[in-house]
Structure 1
Amino acid sequence: MHKVGFFRSIQLKLILIYILLILLAIQIIGSYFTTSLERELTSNFKSSIDGRIEVLSHYLQEAFNKERTDEEEPTIQEDVQGIIGDIETDSSWKNLIVVNNQSKVLATNNYSQQDKIGKKDTRDIIQKVLLFSDEQVQDRKDSDGNRIHVQATPLFDNEENMVGVIYLEASLQDIYDQLSEINQIFYQGTIWAILVSAILGILVARAITKPVMEMRRQAQIMGKGDFTQKVNVYGTDEIGQLAIAFNDLNDQLKHSYAKTEEETRKLNSVIENMSDGVIATDETGAVTLMNEPAGILLGVNPEEIYGQRIMDVLKLDEKVVDPSELPENGSMIIDFSEDDDIFLIRANFSTVTDEDDDVTGFITVISDVTEQEKIEQERREFVSNVSHELRTPLTTMKSYMEALIDGEWKNEDIAPRFLEVTQNETERMIRMVNDLLHLSKMDNKEHQLQKERTEFIQLFHHVIDRFEMNSPEHIEIVRELPNEKLFVWIDQDKLIQVIDNIISNAIKYSPEGGKVTCRVIKQRHQILVSITDEGMGIAYDKLEKIFERFYRVDKARTRKLGGTGLGLAISKELVEAHHGRIWAKSKEGKGTTILFTLPLMGKKRRNNS
């Protein structure tokens, strides 16, 4: 959780709200006050003007109503000018003009406009009064931008005939200057009020936000799993009640968190100690959890996979478009093989739902089924091979037996050959069955080796001697054996069987005049035995397969020579049972070498033996 800056905090918001409320109240009050004051001042000013105009109208009416018979008496223009000069005015009366009903200026108090006396005044406001006989009032600004009050009042004689107009221009600037001074004072007061309210707002905001900030800090601490601290309760108001509720929540979360942690540890322990891989995703298929076995199986770092799509991780883009389709597949075999390296994974999918049965994620359990699939494939191939290997001699025997039954037994030339073939095929099937039983016992660990201290060179000479006595004359067996004694811990009968199988194959596949070379090389902790023929050789891509059950490089020739296709498979099992290793080297057209190793006995063990 990031720390909230002052300019984004609730404290600043409370201060601003407090200041804005104060400012709004001051503005409303100030606006009402200045408006009322302006209205009152202008009203009093206009009332004062009306009073003075009324007095002036009275004097002017007397002047207009006066009968002038004597030529020496003042003219009406002189009387009006005298009245204008004697009337009491103040500085606000900028321009006072009296015109007759012909718009002729009779008098003015403005010395700068004395030249207009006797001339016609064409002002619109004067013309409106002369036209409608009604008083006209205007408030406007003069050419200098000052506010003025303009008033035109009609004059009547005793007969109620309009005889003239009083035109007055009075300045309102003094009133608005007073209002400006008052507003200035008001603005200064507002600034002081804002400063005071800001200080008070800070104090009030701190008093309100302090418990809230403590609860925020406590929430951050609780988010880290620390439930030992509690917030202070400053009162019994709403914030105090919130603090009490917060502390109660802290206690409940502490208990729930401890229980959840315990369950999580149990679950993690189960997941991490599972031999199978477990992958959890959210409802979109993004990986949220992967245990170590899953990472090992997929060859990835679990932490780097988080957030990736399960379809990408399991390479299912071509099979599955949406993660919701995964549970529909239930279980599937996914091929992760690369080149000749076979690697198969079985994936089982299930759905995670909430209390409303809405899908919240998926669980995928993966396991390595490469060996299982290999074993299953080998089992199928084994059954197929056994069936084929048994069907061939049985078919041959059936054909010959049917021929004998049909009367060929009477033929002294054919009958013995048919019976010989039948006997050979029967013996081959017996050997095959015996080999299969032998392999089955070794697969089931039922066969126990009878190991004993053996001098290997002497044993090897013995086997080679036997083959030299029984082998065809056209095959030469060459010995390249060391003169020293090499002791091994072996089952003599089983190792003789291994050497018999290899030398027998070498002799079978050697051409006339060919050589079979038998070598033994002493290495640091083991001996290396090799038997080389000069036969047709084996292709490089088939070398590993010659140790598989029923595999034959030349099937027709092998069957003709009476082979079962199990000799090298048995040899491999026996050598590995002696903690050795067996393999082949070959070049087509130049022959094949079968090599195997056996561990040498240590001096201490030889002495004890």
Structure 2
Amino acid sequence: MDKKILAYLNPISHLGDTHYSFLFPFLLTIFIYALFEVLAYFISMDPSAYGVYVISLSAVLITYFSFRDGIKGGFTATVITPGYYFYIMYSRHYTQAQLTSGIETTIILSILYLILSTIIGGLKQKIDNLIEQEADEKRRLQTIIQQLPVGVLITDSKGTIIQGNKKINAIMGTKLPISLKIPLTQNGKLANPSQSPLSQALITGKPVVGKEFVLEKEDEKKTYIQVSAAPILNRHGRVIAAAEIVHDVTAQKELEQRKDDFVNMASHELKTPITSMKLYIESLLNRIKNYNDPRSKKTLHSIKEQTQKLQKLVSDLLDVSRLQTGKLTFNKEKFNLDRLLKEVINELRGTAKKQKINYLKRSSVIIYADRFRIYQIITNLITNAIKYSSNEGDINIGLRKLNGKATVSVQDFGIGIAKDQQKRIFDRLYQVNDDMGKTFPGFGMGLYISKEIIKRHRGNIWVYSEKGKGSTFYFSLPLKK
């Protein structure tokens, strides 16, 4: 017989199925009773010899349908059965005494069958509801596990993986097959728990929190992971499974490393020369204060002013935590953005030995912002354009008003930025790499600080770039307060 038919008939295969049938018990009960009559009349010469088996057959049918289709199936078979009994009494021509006894027996059996179908059918439906609730809980848990931003592994008590999510496959760089066994023993001895938090959780019955490992994948890239594991206990306190959470902390590790490198580099490379520069300027000012040389005095005062600005900028770079905590203060005022652009361009033209800086003025714009911070942003963008344009070429600066905003653009025709790096260039301490993996000079802080300053002015900053053809950086600021 076909496996599907056997599964359909088998009541065990319907456990957990709450869709109970009325038609199947109705038709099959009638068919079996009809088949029984055929056997009684045409196979056996004595139909009454089969009567003793009717009650047993009815009990089996009612039990079967109650177990397969719950109360509905049991009631259906129970209702048909008295009808069949009355048909037997009619077809067998029961006499008065037999008829009375038959009716009484039918009533008593009907009540018993009704009780039987209610008990078995009720138990069946309760079991089905429990199975369905468990299945629903399992589906909910599976959905939650699959949507978690961390990798999840669940094993049985022997360390065999029984469940995992998509994130764990992404972290490991390969699909972990279900039924893969986590080794709990090595050479007949217990495995070293330090090598596997899951093993430790299963062996000791205690949770393991925050262990870090380094994975080396086939592409030779290292992935830093933080792993926590915990045993799953039954009500008797026995370990029946274990769950492991794997968090990819590679980006965090790289960020911490860049931060450490930056702090060390900045403290040695920035503070010392700026301090020395200030001392030399003060010394020169003291030496010429009695001389009648206003031009030199003006130049030195200008140098001193620029040094103080640089010192303030370095202080802001080293104290970047102010940006993270929102404690960076702004001294906002109304000023002419067009004049500020001209000022910065004139200051930086001397540093552009090969490039020509063009100011493509579109309109005069008055904005309300922190003048020094906007000066800082413009200086950073133009300096970057000069730095990343190693060949001769123009650097075009633009200003325009559009939709209640002032938009500044800085265009260069230099090396450009790869698409996979454009999303990260505004991240803290991120440095652009070339095709050989080489990073360009700088601390990876300028664009991050520019982004944060613009953000706190309710503006936007973005870039359009094509590798090998150059980049155009934009930032916009609202014209109103």
Alignment TM-score, normalising by the size of structure 1: 0.43
- Which whole-Å CA distance do the structure 1 matches of 2:156 and 2:110 have between them? 39
Match status 1:196 vs 2:39: no
The one-letter amino acid of 1:435's match is: L
Which residue is equivalent to 2:325? 444
Which residue is equivalent to 2:59? 211
RMSD after superposition: 6.3
Q: Cα 1:245–1:570, aligned 2, differ >3 Å: closer, same or farther?
A: same
Would the aligned equivalents of 1:214 and 1:231 in 2 still touch at CA under 8 Å?
A: yes
Alignment partner of 1:551: what SS? coil
Q: Cα 1:521–1:226, aligned 2, differ >3 Å: closer, same or farther?
A: farther
Which residue is equivalent to 2:361? 481
Q: Cα 1:465–1:492, aligned 2, differ >3 Å: closer, same or farther?
A: closer
Q: Cα 1:531–1:267, aligned 2, differ >3 Å: closer, same or farther?
A: same
Alignment partner of 2:45: what SS? helix
Q: Which of these residues, 371, 376, 382, is aligned with residue 497 of structure 1?
A: 376
Q: State how 1:308-327 maps to structure 2 within 5 Å.
A: 315-316=175-176, 321-322=180-181, 327=198
Identity in percent? 15
Would the aligned equivalents of 1:487 and 1:600 in 2 still touch at CA under 8 Å?
A: no
Q: Which of these residues, 293, 296, 316, is aligned with residue 434 of structure 1?
A: 316
Would the aligned equivalents of 1:526 and 1:600 in 2 still touch at CA under 8 Å?
A: yes
Q: Cα 1:273–1:445, aligned 2, differ >3 Å: closer, same or farther?
A: farther
Which deviations, in whole Å up to 9, do the C-alpha atoms of 1:418-456 show, x marking residues without a partner? xxxxxx99997875343121x21212233366778x78x
* Structure 1 residue 216 displacement after superposition: 1.2
- Which whole-Å CA distance do the structure 1 matches of 2:316 and 2:124 have between them? 72
Which deviations, in whole Å up to 9, do the C-alpha atoms of 1:240-291 show, x marking residues without a partner? 9898566445556666776787788778767766873777677896867x8x
Would the aligned equivalents of 1:549 and 1:566 in 2 still touch at CA under 8 Å?
A: yes
Would the aligned equivalents of 2:162 and 2:179 in 1 still touch at CA under 8 Å?
A: no
Which residue is equivalent to 1:532? 411
* Structure 1 residue 551 displacement after superposition: 3.4
| Bigger Rg, structure 1 or 2 | 1
* Structure 1 residue 463 displacement after superposition: 2.9
- Which whole-Å CA distance do the structure 1 matches of 2:260 and 2:36 have between them? 87
Q: State how 1:264-303 maps to structure 2 within 5 Å.
A: 276=148, 294=165, 297=167
Alignment TM-score, normalising by the size of structure 2: 0.52
* Structure 1 residue 478 displacement after superposition: 1.5
Q: State how 1:380-419 maps to structure 2 within 5 Å.
A: 380-392=257-269
Q: Cα 1:298–1:580, aligned 2, differ >3 Å: closer, same or farther?
A: farther
Which residue is equivalent to 2:8? 2
- Which whole-Å CA distance do the structure 2 matches of 1:586 and 1:194 have between them? 92
- Which whole-Å CA distance do the structure 2 matches of 1:395 and 1:321 have between them? 58
Match status 1:462 vs 2:345: no
Which residue is equivalent to 2:89? none
Which deviations, in whole Å up to 9, do the C-alpha atoms of 1:491-550 show, x marking residues without a partner? 55433321122224445677899754212356678665322357x646748964765527
- Which whole-Å CA distance do the structure 2 matches of 1:354 and 1:195 have between them? 59
Unaligned runs of 5+ in 2: 1-6, 11-26, 82-104, 185-195, 202-210, 277-305
Q: State how 1:75-474 maps to structure 2 within 5 Å.
A: 195-197=44-46, 199-222=47-70, 247-248=118-119, 276=148, 294=165, 297=167, 315-316=175-176, 321-322=180-181, 327-328=198-199, 362=241, 364=243, 369-370=247-248, 372-392=249-269, 431-437=313-319, 439-447=320-328, 458-468=336-346, 471-472=349-350
Q: Cα 1:495–1:343, aligned 2, differ >3 Å: closer, same or farther?
A: farther
* Structure 1 residue 459 displacement after superposition: 0.4
- Which whole-Å CA distance do the structure 1 matches of 2:135 and 2:339 have between them? 68
Which residue is equivalent to 2:460? 580
Alignment partner of 1:585: what SS? strand
- Which whole-Å CA distance do the structure 2 matches of 1:312 and 1:517 have between them? 46
The one-letter amino acid of 1:568's match is: L
The one-letter amino acid of 1:442's match is: L
Q: Cα 1:258–1:551, aligned 2, differ >3 Å: closer, same or farther?
A: closer
Would the aligned equivalents of 2:400 and 2:408 in 1 still touch at CA under 8 Å?
A: yes
Which residue is equivalent to 2:17? none
* Structure 1 residue 207 displacement after superposition: 2.8
Q: Cα 1:313–1:459, aligned 2, differ >3 Å: closer, same or farther?
A: closer
- Which whole-Å CA distance do the structure 2 matches of 1:387 and 1:313 have between them? 34
Would the aligned equivalents of 1:481 and 1:519 in 2 still touch at CA under 8 Å?
A: yes
Q: How many equivalent pairs are there?
A: 370
Which residue is equivalent to 1:117? none
Would the aligned equivalents of 1:477 and 1:515 in 2 still touch at CA under 8 Å?
A: yes
Would the aligned equivalents of 1:336 and 1:343 in 2 still touch at CA under 8 Å?
A: yes
Q: Cα 1:446–1:515, aligned 2, differ >3 Å: closer, same or farther?
A: same
Q: Cα 1:210–1:587, aligned 2, differ >3 Å: closer, same or farther?
A: closer
Q: Cα 1:597–1:263, aligned 2, differ >3 Å: closer, same or farther?
A: same
Q: Cα 1:550–1:282, aligned 2, differ >3 Å: closer, same or farther?
A: closer
- Which whole-Å CA distance do the structure 2 matches of 1:14 and 1:324 have between them? 60
- Which whole-Å CA distance do the structure 2 matches of 1:335 and 1:489 have between them? 51
Would the aligned equivalents of 1:15 and 1:205 in 2 still touch at CA under 8 Å?
A: no
Would the aligned equivalents of 2:360 and 2:396 in 1 still touch at CA under 8 Å?
A: yes
- Which whole-Å CA distance do the structure 1 matches of 2:344 and 2:417 have between them? 31
- Which whole-Å CA distance do the structure 1 matches of 2:264 and 2:416 have between them? 26
- Which whole-Å CA distance do the structure 2 matches of 1:320 and 1:270 have between them? 20
The one-letter amino acid of 1:200's match is: S
Would the aligned equivalents of 1:482 and 1:521 in 2 still touch at CA under 8 Å?
A: yes
* Structure 1 residue 593 displacement after superposition: 3.7
Match status 1:569 vs 2:448: yes
Q: State how 1:60-75 maps to structure 2 within 5 Å.
A: none
Would the aligned equivalents of 1:11 and 1:202 in 2 still touch at CA under 8 Å?
A: no
Which is bigger in relative contact order (C-alpha 8 A, separation at least 6)?
A: 2
Would the aligned equivalents of 2:373 and 2:453 in 1 still touch at CA under 8 Å?
A: yes
Would the aligned equivalents of 1:481 and 1:521 in 2 still touch at CA under 8 Å?
A: yes
- Which whole-Å CA distance do the structure 2 matches of 1:512 and 1:13 have between them? 99
Would the aligned equivalents of 1:227 and 1:251 in 2 still touch at CA under 8 Å?
A: no
Would the aligned equivalents of 1:503 and 1:531 in 2 still touch at CA under 8 Å?
A: yes
* Structure 1 residue 595 displacement after superposition: 0.6
Alignment partner of 2:359: what SS? strand
Would the aligned equivalents of 2:389 and 2:415 in 1 still touch at CA under 8 Å?
A: no
Q: Cα 1:524–1:246, aligned 2, differ >3 Å: closer, same or farther?
A: same
Which deviations, in whole Å up to 9, do the C-alpha atoms of 1:46-94 show, x marking residues without a partner? xxxxxxxxxxxxxxxxxxxxxxxxxxxxxxxxxxxxxxxxxxxxxxxxx
Q: Cα 1:600–1:263, aligned 2, differ >3 Å: closer, same or farther?
A: same
Q: State how 1:504-515 maps to structure 2 within 5 Å.
A: 504-506=383-385, 515=394
Unaligned runs of 5+ in 1: 20-191, 301-310, 401-423
* Structure 1 residue 210 displacement after superposition: 1.2
- Which whole-Å CA distance do the structure 1 matches of 2:107 and 2:400 have between them? 97
The one-letter amino acid of 2:461's match is: R
Q: State how 1:9-48 maps to structure 2 within 5 Å.
A: none
